Structure 1
Amino acid sequence: MAGTVCSEHPVSTDIAALAAEALRREVWLTPKPGLVDSANNGSHSDMDLPLFLRSIDAITPWLHQFFTLGQQDFLQPSQGMLMRIRPTGLACEQAMFGATQGINTHKGGIFSLGLLCTAAGRLIGQRRLLTRNRLCAEVAAMTQGLVERELQHCRQPVSAGERLFVAHGMTGARGEVQSGFLTLRRHVFPYWYQESHSERRSLNALLRLMAYNPDTNLVARGGLSGLRFVQDYARRLLNTGWQAEDLQQMDNALIARHLSPGGSADLLAIAIMLMAFPQ
């Protein structure tokens, strides 16, 4: 499927299937320190692999809707698309919560992948070849000013993201999409092919994200010290070289501290999707 994406414009179901497959590849990837995978539930007492798979099945039809909205409104200004797709995003979240009995498995993934599917629809509507750079640039254009509107001008923080911005200036998923996934473009994409095996590529990408992503999930669970612990640990493994056993030991360390780099897991799924396209 990746080859058809690179060589021609796929139909909307191909884009949605590509996004859903990225979510599945992320959750099956093992071992993932602190995260749900095929070996254990990581630092989560309320989540497991079957729950994630049910969530992905519930999300997938809505990914098609994001693409369709982008394709229908490809002539509209990019800045208006975020409000256009928000009702679909909320409906997608409700489908997720229905499948998971109220557990938030993929809210961050819905936000970012919904934007990417919308961006893909717009670019195809404009008869432009899908590339990583164009997709990232279109997501940035659709979310221009989002951090300022929703975080900098927030007077009474309610959500975890708003509270972390007020306390630490962290912009989380909003900052990542507004930057056109700068963390991925800077710290993951240039190093993707350092590993020859696809599973090691994904695990290495996850380590790089844990090393450099200011993950708000980690700060919410363990404060800034929790974030620094994970970043320092990941950087040591990247510097010295790593094997699966090292990630299993890191998994034990994060579980003992109840730390889960969920923001990096979301970005890994996005990276897997975007790497299906030419630069």
Structure 2
Amino acid sequence: MTGLLATKPRPLDVPALAAEALWQELELTPKPGLVDRLNNGSHRDMDHALFVRSIMAITPWFSRFAELGNAHAEKPAGEQLRILRPMGMACEQAMYAATNGVNTHKGGIFALGLLCFAAGRVKNISAESLCCEVSNICNGLVSRELATRSGQATAGERQFRQYGLTGARGEAESGFATVRKALAQWNGHSLHGLLLRLMAINQDSNLVSRGGIEGLGYVQGYARELLADGWDNEALRRMNNALIERNLSPGGSADLLSVGWVLSALK
């Protein structure tokens, strides 16, 4: 695994950082409820080897996202999702082909794909400029896709109507506000610390899907307790066991950890 960049980033650095971020997230161990080097967390259909294949399939697409963003850099931000989506869907299909249909990184493709696409559009790359550009690209996304009633409600639409949760769309539209808040409280050392901070504040739709709003509250409360009382690997293993017992997986926070790793490298 590489360290953080010390030189001024270029557009092509961001796709490399995005790929590295996926490896950093996967290799972080122990990781409560999530796939890591020791076990599969709360996932029966995934393991470490499957995630490796997924990352290998996804990685070439990050530079393509940046190139596409650069090709449309002069066009208004509000027109860009329509341009980006077909490539994002193609990247998802590459993932599914590598994993035999298992969704390992759909959230990561969405978030990191947006960051790479934004990197191709902005003139001066920084964490702030990328978050601002992603927010501009996704402006109005929640109201268009979650607030507007459709025939058969998706899981995201149901969570929005029932709990007001905006999921990955809302996080992108906010310019990754949850990630930026967690980074502001992180000392920059252990990625476990950043993951716990994300778990403590993220309105993780994966947790709601698996355990309802109570499951979300359980994980947030557990993470806050560890942050307040202190934690070590044994405490993280106990948390992992507790989440596995309850079939809870903070997959949304895992996706945001990858985003946080990229943004921290650009500071």
TM-score interval for Structure 1 and Structure 2 normalised by the shorter chain: over 0.9
Distance in 1 (alpha carbons) for counterparts of 2:138 and 2:224? 31
Across the aligned residues of Structure 1 and Structure 2, the Cα RMSD in angstroms comes to 1.3
Q: 1:157: Cα distance to partner?
A: 4.3
Q: 1:60: Cα distance to partner?
A: 0.9
Q: 1:8: Cα distance to partner?
A: 4.3
Show CA shifts across 1:51-86 (max 9, x none): 011101111111111100111111110111111010
| Structure 2, unaligned runs of 5 or more | none
The answer on whether the counterparts of 1:172 and 1:214 sit within 8 Å (CA) in structure 2 is: yes
Q: Does 1:189 align with 2:183?
A: yes
Q: Which residue of 2 aligns with 1:219?
A: 208
Q: Which residue of 1 aligns with 2:74?
A: 75
Q: 1:129: Cα distance to partner?
A: 2.2
Q: 1:89: Cα distance to partner?
A: 0.4
Partner amino acid, structure 1, of 2:203: P
Distance in 2 (alpha carbons) for counterparts of 1:33 and 1:172? 20
Distance 1:158 1:102, change over 3 A: farther
The answer on whether the counterparts of 2:88 and 2:110 sit within 8 Å (CA) in structure 1 is: yes
Q: Which residue of 1 aligns with 2:25?
A: 26
- Taking the TM superposition and a 5 Å limit, the aligned residue runs for 1:1-279 are 2-3=4-5, 6-10=7-11, 12=12, 14-123=13-122, 128-186=123-181, 188-193=182-187, 196=189, 200=190, 202-278=191-267
| Structure 1, unaligned runs of 5 or more | none
Superposition TM-score, scaled by structure 2 size: 0.96
Superposition TM-score, scaled by structure 1 size: 0.92
Distance in 1 (alpha carbons) for counterparts of 2:78 and 2:94? 26
The answer on whether the counterparts of 1:157 and 1:163 sit within 8 Å (CA) in structure 2 is: no
The answer on whether the counterparts of 2:9 and 2:266 sit within 8 Å (CA) in structure 1 is: no
Partner amino acid, structure 2, of 1:90: M
Count residues in correspondence.
265
Distance 1:21 1:8, change over 3 A: closer
Distance in 2 (alpha carbons) for counterparts of 1:264 and 1:156? 30
The answer on whether the counterparts of 1:157 and 1:166 sit within 8 Å (CA) in structure 2 is: no
Q: 1:18: Cα distance to partner?
A: 1.2
Distance in 1 (alpha carbons) for counterparts of 2:9 and 2:209? 42
The answer on whether the counterparts of 1:216 and 1:263 sit within 8 Å (CA) in structure 2 is: yes
% identical equivalent positions: 54
Distance in 2 (alpha carbons) for counterparts of 1:156 and 1:250? 39
